[in-house]
Amino acid sequence: MNTTSNRRTVTIALFVATFLAAIEGTIVSTAMPSITGELNGIQQYSWIISIYLLATVITTPIYGKLSDLFGRKRMFIAGAIIFLAGSMLSGLAQTMSQLIAFRALQGLGAGALTTIPYTIIGDLYPFEQRAKVQGWMSSIWGIAGITGPLAGGLLVDYVSWRAIFYMNLPFGIVAILLLTTSMKEAFAKQKRYIDYPGIAAFSIGMFAFLYALTILRETNETSHSSMIIILLLLAAAFFLALFFFIEKRSPEPIIPLQLFKLRTISTVNAISFLLCVINVVAIFYLPLWIQGVIGESATYSGLAMIPLSIGWPLGAILAGNWIAKLGMRKIAFVGSMFLVVGSIGFMLMTEHTSIVLFMIYTFLSGMSFGLSLTSFTVAVSSSVSWELRGAAIGSNNFIRTLGQTVGIALFGLLLHTGSTEVIDADKLEHSLHRIFIILVGLSVIVMLAMLALPRTTTQATASDTADASS
């Protein structure tokens, strides 16, 4: 494919779209008490977020492959329109059931916003520039982590919780218009095979698996819920096995299995999964330590977590600037060393640990995620030709989100806050310490796995790099 585009304008449009996808989780979480209070749906509290994540996880690799078949621009715009339609309808919802359905629609579009921007950057820029731009794009997730709760709180307090959904509309429309007018994609028009059987088998299998994890996280360990989980896991195993069978024979598989024969991609995906399992602890359980064990306020815990949101984008930017000189392996290994140090610090914490030390540990963890995950994104996009780039990045993003989902479910089984609605600080501290010990073990495994990465990063060739003229 040959692309003649205004790279600066296209990049701005992609940054805006990525920010909308990144801020969605934190800004909605802030508004949850107001939403459930007005719509009288405290029992369905978790599904507002869970259904969005389920839809996003499932569609991420699908959008990646479809962008290879039908063009990045077309699939990005389609996904953005679906996302904005879901946002508008979510703002109009009058019941919890309606909101959950509209959030699912929003998630179906979000899969495009989390994958295709990285793919387009991979097409537009040569290797060294690509690394820098993707580093800046990865930093947006850290920035969203800081601004999301603040923006959500202000909108809920001074406007309405519905405004957190409506705010997506003007920014999303601007991103679509900028991309439409600035990105020129010369895509050959021909009949394309769409792997409908693969899409169906993958969607059903992953939904069953993720739904089982969601129930597992929320279950009261009743025999009824246990039976549902077992049936869902059996259904997931059947449909995912069927999906593997279909993909081996499909002329255009949604997730090309040859990707996993490439050492860079297979190793990066495995490490990405573990990193995102660990990432869950940093995002969800460290604030719980501050509030439940130390006894500080939610505002205090938010301030204590700022170093994580600073370290992540800083690490991403540094990785983008250094990867062409140092290579993915060295940068990712340094990131894993930061993670080990931070994890050991968490394991050794007590209720008397200085907040300064806590913030240093969170900063090191943020730096680790920024350095490692950004290096992996650049490596994946540079390891394949244009025809497989969308599927490759889509599969890596899918693996990351899957790692977070599995991490939430598994660590949730180890978390104990007491039998009453009042948190038992001693039980919480004990359970979090067990989680932190596991965190150290996983971090060491990640650091050792980094040694299996290729010593050199495959750079894009002329055939897989789009015309970079601006």
Task: Kindly report, residue by residue over 32-65, the tens digit of the pLDDT.
Answer: 777 877 887 666 666 787 788 888 888 888 898 8
Number of other residues whose CB lies within 10 A of the CB of residue 13 = 25
Q: Are residues 105 and 232 in the same domain?
A: no
Quick check: 287 and 228 in contact, CB under 8 A? Answer: no
pLDDT tier for residue 459 given thresholds of 50, 70 and 90 = very low
Asked whether residue 134 is assigned to any structural domain, the reply reads yes
Q: Are residues 280 and 375 in the same domain?
A: yes
Note the pLDDT tens digit of each residue in 193-216: 778 888 899 889 988 888 888 777
Structure tokens at 326: 């140092």
Residue 221 CA to residue 239 CA, distance in Å, equals 26
Asked whether residue 168 is assigned to any structural domain, the reply reads yes
For residue 1, pLDDT beyond 50 = no
Higher pLDDT: 420 or 348? It is: 348
Q: Are residues 32 and 159 in the same domain?
A: yes
**C-alpha distance from residue 416 to each of 216, 274, 419 (Å):** 14, 23, 8
- The domain tally of the chain equals 3
Q: Are residues 357 and 453 in the same domain?
A: yes
Q: Are residues 127 and 206 in the same domain?
A: no
Asked whether residue 469 is assigned to any structural domain, the reply reads no
Asked whether residue 90 is assigned to any structural domain, the reply reads yes
Q: Are residues 348 and 243 in the same domain?
A: no
The CATH number given to whatever domain includes residue 439 is 1.20.1250.20
Asked whether residue 355 is assigned to any structural domain, the reply reads yes
Residue 20 CA to residue 16 CA, distance in Å, equals 6
Structure tokens at 68: 């290879």
Q: Are residues 229 and 329 in the same domain?
A: no
| Residue 45, helix vs strand vs coil | coil
- What pLDDT is attached to residue 98? 92
- What pLDDT is attached to residue 462? 36
Asked whether residue 319 is assigned to any structural domain, the reply reads yes
Note the Cα 160 to chain centre separation in Å: 27
Q: β-pairing, 185-186 with 2-3?
A: antiparallel
Q: Are residues 214 and 261 in the same domain?
A: no
User: What is the domain range of residue 418?
Assistant: 257-463
Mean of pLDDT values over 292-316:
82
- DSSP-derived letter for residue 43 is G
Q: What angle do CA 351, 353, 358 make, to 5 degrees?
A: 110
| Residue 253, helix vs strand vs coil | coil
Asked whether residue 433 is assigned to any structural domain, the reply reads yes
Q: Where are the alpha helices (DSSP H) in 250-305?
A: 263-280, 286-288, 298-304
For residue 90, pLDDT beyond 80 = yes
Q: Are residues 142 and 156 in the same domain?
A: yes
**C-alpha distance from residue 422 to each of 270, 372, 426, 427 (Å):** 39, 38, 12, 12
Q: Are residues 104 and 13 in the same domain?
A: yes
> Count H helices, E strands: the chain?
17, 2
Asked whether residue 315 is assigned to any structural domain, the reply reads yes
Chosen domain end from 201, 231, 251:
251
Q: Which residues pair with 185 in a beta bridge?
A: 3
Q: Are residues 244 and 337 in the same domain?
A: no
Note the Cα 442 to chain centre separation in Å: 19
Residue 284 CA to residue 290 CA, distance in Å, equals 11
For residue 92, pLDDT beyond 90 = yes
**C-alpha distance from residue 428 to each of 25, 194, 236, 422 (Å):** 25, 49, 33, 11
Go through 82-119 and write b for each residue having 16 or more CB atoms within 10 A of its CB, e for each that does not: bbbbbbbbbbebeebeebbbbbbbbbbbbbbbbbbbbb
Q: Are residues 337 and 448 in the same domain?
A: yes
For residue 171, pLDDT beyond 70 = yes
Mean of pLDDT values over 105-110:
93
For residue 286, pLDDT beyond 60 = yes
Chosen domain end from 251, 269, 294:
251
Chosen domain end from 157, 185, 213:
185
| Residue 100, helix vs strand vs coil | helix
